Amino acid sequence: QVQLVESGGGSVQPGESLTLSCVYSGVTDNRYPMGWFRQAPEKEREGVAAIDCSGSDRDRYADSVKGRFTIVKDHSRNTLYLKMNSLKLEDSGIYYCAADSNIGDCASFRFSNDLNYWGQGTHVTVSS
C-alpha cells in the first residue's frame, strides 16, 4: 500500500518561491509515476506536474506552470518535491501528491481523475 504525505505549504507573496515535499512509502520501484495536482476554490483539479512517466516537458508540466515549477524525486529519501518559483496569485490552492504505476505517460497521468494513491494535501496561498 502506497502512502503519501505532503508538507511545505504556506503563505507567500507574488514572486516568491516555495518548495513542497511529499514523503512516500510502499514504493520500491525507483521509477514509479508520481505527480502533483492542485485545486483552487470553485475550480477543477489541475494536474500540475508528473515524473517517471513518458513524454516531453509539454506533457510533464501544465502550461500554467511551465518554466516556473520543477518536479524532482529523491528516491534515496523517498521524497517527491515541487519547487515553485515566481509564484502568482492564481497558484493558490490545495496541492496534492499522487501516484499510480498503471499510467505510464505523463499526459494521461496529469489528466487522470482516477489515480490510485493520493495524499491529504497541503495549502498554498499566494497573496499580496
Task: Kindly report, residue by residue over 21-78, the tens digit of the pLDDT.
Answer: 999 999 988 889 999 999 998 999 999 999 999 988 889 999 999 999 999 999 999 9
Whether the Cβ atoms of residue 13 and residue 107 lie closer than 8 Å to each other: no
Q: Round the average pLDDT of the chain to a whole number and report it.
A: 95
Whether the Cβ atoms of residue 72 and residue 83 lie closer than 8 Å to each other: yes
- Position 30 scores a pLDDT of 81
Bridge partners of residue 93, in order along the sequence = 124
The three-state (H, E, C) secondary structure of 51-97, written as one string? ECCECCHHHHECCCCCCCEEEEEEHHHCEEEEEECCCCHHHCEEEEE
- Position 113 scores a pLDDT of 81
- Position 111 scores a pLDDT of 92
Mean predicted confidence (pLDDT) in 89-114: 94
The backbone region for 89, taken as left when phi is positive above 0, alpha when psi lies in -120 to 50, beta otherwise, is alpha
